[in-house]
Amino acid sequence: MNKMTVRDADFNGKRVLVRVDFNVPLEGDTITDDTRIRSAVPTLQYILEQSPRAVILMSHLGRPKGGPTPEFSLRPIAPALAALLGQEVAFVEDTVGDQVSAAIDQLPQGGVLLVENTRFYKGEEKNDPDLAQKMAALGDIFVNDAFGTAHRAHASNVGVSTHLPAYSGLLMEKEIDYLATALENPQRPFVAILGGAKVSDKIAVIEALLDKCDKLLIGGGMANTFFKAQGHAMGKSLVEDEALETAKMLLQKGGDKLILPSDAVLGDKFEEGANTQTIAVSAGVPEGWAIYDIGPETIQAYQAHLNGAKTVVWNGPMGVFEMPTFAKGTFAIAQALAGETAKGATTIIGGGDSVAAVEQSGLADQITHISTGGGASLEMLEGKELPGVAAIRDR
């Protein structure tokens, strides 16, 4: 990576402003998945070892509308982070201003402060220069470790960088290195797996990957649009009719490189406990039924394509994995990447749903790299420059 990282910075005695990604799922005040918090710890520990005056943390959480909203407060994050760091993490109920400045002044030497949700200020997502200047005033030096927001030009990642020397955190560095290496110089065979609901969300990714990978395996609801483009009956399956011509174009471009499921698991209802049947896709989906997972023949075929692969990138589930009845395809892919099938391969997983599936399966520690950024990893796979990365100092 040709960007300056925390290893290039002098933090001694400095107020270090760090953009982290603590956009974690909450049920009330309970964090249901702390992956993103744990992922930030190595960078924070590295900075704290360099004797900074203070470490000030900024993050967004969710999509609050119109200002402060209690359900999107970052307050529950502070004790969870404190337990991981082994030191107190103070919290302040604002993002910028006098209250925050006072909280920083009250910190002990090397203290850590988490400020309130950056999106409680409307100017955050507009990259408002005034808000960015106020954020920058909190620190002497800036570290961006929030890869999950790197595809957005916001005040807390891009705006701040115009006022302070900006460095990459260790997580940001790791994300960029893995994704860039997978795209620019992959070990072959290079197999990509794309799932999720919509083709339209991933057209640019499919086109980019078809130019780079050896095989592109398709699953999830997006496969249905390809099936309909081939002339198969889809029953009440999710189909993007407006993307049918695009699907036909991609099928033609992909040739034998683009692989679709050959069979599918159907349900008569979109709920756990629905009646199910498995069909060959070529037979068509009966009226009143919908595709909710890839079938056993497809699982076997996809495992065969992954056997011997040297680089695998996976983004998006194979079915409605949140329901155990329709989770077999997604978990089978996770098991293939973690087990003997893809042994020796560099395995990279991005996208919230596929990451959640791997975490649920208990196989996360057997995957080479799990990306914390769904949208950002997709845009990197498309070959786009990410504003949050571009704003970091070049070497």
CB 388 within 8 A of CB 146: yes
Q: What is the dihedral of CA 362, 368, 372, 373, to 10 degrees?
A: -130
CB 382 within 8 A of CB 206: no
Active site residue 395: no
Prior bond of 129 cis (ω within 30°): no
CB 322 within 8 A of CB 202: no
> How many angstroms separate the first and last alpha carbons of the chain?
9
- How far is Cα 307 from Cα 302, in angstroms, rounded to an integer? 9
379-146-7 Cα angle (round to 5):
115
Which residue among the candidates 198, 236, 257, 269 is catalytic per the annotation? 198
Which residue among the candidates 36, 174, 215, 328 is catalytic per the annotation? 36
Q: DSSP states of 340-362 as a string?
A: STTTT-EEEEESHHHHHHHHHHT
CA-based torsion, 196, 41, 52, 94: positive or negative: positive
Active site residue 375: yes
Which residue among the candidates 169, 221, 351, 352 is catalytic per the annotation? 352
Active site residue 235: no
Active site residue 119: no
Which residue among the candidates 110, 284, 375, 383 is catalytic per the annotation? 375
- Could you tell me which residues come within 8 angstroms of residue 159 by beta carbon, excluding any fewer than 6 positions away? 127, 128, 129, 131, 132, 133, 135, 136, 153
- How far is Cα 364 from Cα 348, in angstroms, rounded to an integer? 11
- How far is Cα 302 from Cα 309, in angstroms, rounded to an integer? 11
Ranges of beta strands (E only) in 40-124 are 54-58, 89-92, 111-115
Q: Classify strands 311-315 and 346-350 as parallel, antiparallel or unpaired.
A: parallel
Residue 54, phi then psi, degrees to nearest 5: -160, 155
CB 357 within 8 A of CB 334: yes
| Catalytic residue annotation | 36, 198, 352, 375
